[in-house]
Amino acid sequence: MYFRALNRIFTKFSFTNKCETALYTRSMACSRYEYVKSYEQDDKILPNVWIVIRVDGKKFHKFANAHKFEKPNDENALNVMNAAGIAVMEEFRDIVLGYGQSDEYSFVFRKDTSAFKRRAAKLLSYVTSMFTSSYVLSWSQWMQRPLSYAPCFDGRIVLYPSDENLRDYLSWRQADVHVNNLYNTAFWKLVLESGLTNQQAEERLRGTLSSDKNELLFQEFGINYNTLPAMYRKGTILLRKRVVIGSQDEQKGRQAIVPIHEDLIGNEFWKQHTEILGKYVPGKYVVSSLNRHLERQLAKQLEKEATIAEI
């Protein structure tokens, strides 16, 4: 009791001093309530760790049904996610890699970023809200039907101390796409083409290995799983690159955030894109032929010359 009273006097006293000093130095509104600011917690993130922010759609099974997403993958809906991911990376220059699949996106900040003084709540809330508002803004560019309600995304921050931990995190997310997509592809083929009920399809796939599902797709539906679009099988990796289109002079390459759909579990990816773990200088990305999606995602960025020059 005695201690609490003393503490209150002390807090008030130091606040008054701070406030009086502030009054002399700059015109700042001070009130006797201002001491409540001292209750805010310092949430500065440790130095020298990889900062990963992952956003994930809230109840997207319902959202996907409400907006009639194609099953198991809706190419356009995935492109809305990619457009939102690109917008986040355009805004936050210290993000070195984005990785998206299904209704989630992960963003990796440079280890030494000083963005928002590394304050966790600021980083997390800015990235999550930027992603959400960009998702809504990009919707009509990819989708035919209008949004029938506001989508929302949760967000979390995870810190990884070593490069190995970061690679394992990304490998975990990419392995997740593989497992889910193989299952979902087989499941929806059984339901939509063989006429099984959801329960029957579930029973048919229960206890099967990856090789069994590959075999089922090939034998019953003539599908070679490995030839399905890489975006569905591998997810989307967003990297900052100097883009050179066709035979364009390499010096004229402009920086943009490029969506690629490669395997990131093996070493090859990390050897090819050394800029991610090394000193960050965007690598070169030569586009021999623009497919229509890449063209659309890049065209918007390349139009914004002034912004890109600053990256």
User: Binding site annotation covers 102?
Assistant: yes
Residue 80 contacts ligand GTP per CB under 6 A: no
Q: Which is nearer to ligand GTP, 64 or 217 (CB)?
A: 64
Residue 102 contacts ligand GTP per CB under 6 A: yes
User: Binding site annotation covers 103?
Assistant: yes
Residue 73 contacts ligand GTP per CB under 6 A: yes
Q: Which is nearer to ligand GTP, 78 or 216 (CB)?
A: 78
Q: Which of 175, 263, 181 is nearest to 217 (CA)?
A: 181
Q: How many CA atoms lie within 13 A of 258 on its CB side?
A: 23
Residues in binding contact with ligand GTP, number by CB under 6 A: 16
Which of 55, 64, 108, 166 lies at the binding interface for ligand GTP (CB under 6 A)?
Answer: 64
Q: Which is nearer to ligand GTP, 49 or 55 (CB)?
A: 55
User: Binding site annotation covers 213?
Assistant: no
Q: What tokens were used for 84? A: 């939102």
Minimum CB separation of residue 154 from Mg ion in Å reads 8
User: Binding site annotation covers 57?
Assistant: yes
Which of 15, 50, 60, 142 lies at the binding interface for ligand GTP (CB under 6 A)?
Answer: 60
Minimum CB separation of residue 63 from ligand GTP in Å reads 7
Which amino acid belongs to residue 13? Answer: F
How far apart CA 129 and CA 236 sit, in angstroms, is 20
Residue 182 contacts ligand GTP per CB under 6 A: no
Which of 12, 61, 156, 304 lies at the binding interface for ligand GTP (CB under 6 A)?
Answer: 61
Binding residues are: 56-61, 102-103
Binding residues for GTP are: 56-61, 102-103
Residues of the shown chain interacting with ligand GTP in the complex, contacts defined by CB under 6 A: 56-61, 64, 69, 71-74, 77-78, 102-103
